[in-house]
């Protein structure tokens, strides 16, 4: 059974860089699929951030592209996200998820989500 | 402002049917078959309910169905049950490897 688990610092200061990791169990990320990040500000809707494949094939939300680094570590079966220049508008629950990629960009397995608050 | 437009709320009584709309453009919903719907209960992660406009992943009840007409996709929940009360989000491929979501619809079972 595919399971994803995010970990994060919880609190980030304005202008700093957010670093998140997502442990994947029950499936080897080097076996296929893209793996992505989606966020949800409190009380608001979902926003896709970026997705990547172990081959390096990567997609970005155009509005966030300049601030995002997304990586896969196949040795640890982990997905990571770095989001720079954080502001209060980046306060959200961040989810990692498996992305069907070119087959439709559907997200079928999700982590439970981790709340990231941007505050000094 | 979400790229796809959904009504903020919808409701129905147990056993009834309810349809939630999702309006986009010819650059997303109207241009690709990659339209999906997600269900999200409070405090939980979203769950994929419909993909490729009409298909259901294994385990999703056939009470959930999807359709599309032009630039508008729809999710219909038939035979409403109490556990269907949740937020529902539509999503579409928008070209150039971009994915967009709707703002969400809160479904209330009366």
Copy the structure tokens of residue A100: 């069907």
**A5 to chain B, minimum CA–CA distance in Å?**
11
Q: What integer pLDDT is reported at residue B3 of this predicted model?
A: 84
Chain A (15-44) residues lying within 8 Å, Cβ to Cβ, of chain B: 38, 44
Contact between residue A37 and residue A20 where contact means Cβ atoms under 8 Å apart: yes
When pLDDT is cut at 50, 70 and 90, the band that residue A32 belongs to is confident
Over the stretch B6-43, which tens digit does the pLDDT of each residue have? 999 999 999 999 999 999 999 999 999 999 999 999 99
Over the stretch A40-96, which tens digit does the pLDDT of each residue have? 999 999 999 999 999 999 999 999 999 999 999 999 999 999 999 999 999 999 999
When pLDDT is cut at 50, 70 and 90, the band that residue B2 belongs to is low
For A113, name the nearest residue in chain B, comparing CA atoms only. Answer: B45
Q: Which residues in chain A have their CB less than 8 angstroms from residue B102's CB?
A: 45
Measured in whole angstroms, how far is the alpha carbon of residue A106 from the centre of its chain?
A: 14
For A107, name the nearest residue in chain B, comparing CA atoms only. Answer: B48
Over the stretch B60-89, which tens digit does the pLDDT of each residue have? 999 999 999 999 999 999 999 999 999 999
Chain A (53-72) residues lying within 8 Å, Cβ to Cβ, of chain B: 59, 61-62
CA distance B88 to B93: 17
**B49 to chain A, minimum CA–CA distance in Å?**
9
Mean pLDDT along residues B42-46: 97
């Amino acid at each position: 059974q595919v399971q994803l688990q995010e970990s994060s610092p919880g609190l980030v200061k304005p202008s700093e860089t957010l670093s998140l990791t997502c442990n994947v169990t029950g499936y080897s990320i080097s076996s296929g699929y893209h793996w992505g990040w989606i966020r949800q500000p409190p009380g608001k809707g979902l926003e896709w951030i970026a997705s990547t494949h172990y081959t390096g094939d990567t997609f970005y939300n155009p509005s966030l592209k300049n601030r995002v680094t997304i990586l896969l570590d196949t040795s640890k079966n982990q997905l990571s996200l770095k989001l720079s220049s954080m502001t209060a508008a980046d306060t959200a629950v961040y989810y990692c998820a498996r992305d069907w990629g070119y087959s439709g960009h559907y997200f079928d397995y999700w982590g439970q989500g981790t709340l990231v608050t941007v505050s000094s | 402002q979400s790229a796809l437009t959904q009504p903020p709320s919808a409701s129905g009584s147990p056993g009834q049917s309810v349809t939630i709309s999702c309006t986009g453009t010819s650059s997303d919903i109207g241009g690709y078959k990659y339209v999906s719907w997600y269900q999200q209960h409070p405090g939980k992660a979203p769950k994929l309910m419909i993909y490729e406009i009409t298909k259901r992943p294994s385990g999703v009840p056939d009470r959930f169905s999807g359709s599309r007409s032009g630039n508008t996709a729809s999710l219909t929940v038939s035979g409403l049950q109490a556990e269907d009360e949740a937020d529902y989000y539509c999503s579409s491929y928008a070209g150039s490897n971009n994915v967009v979501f709707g703002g969400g619809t809160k479904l209330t079972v009366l």
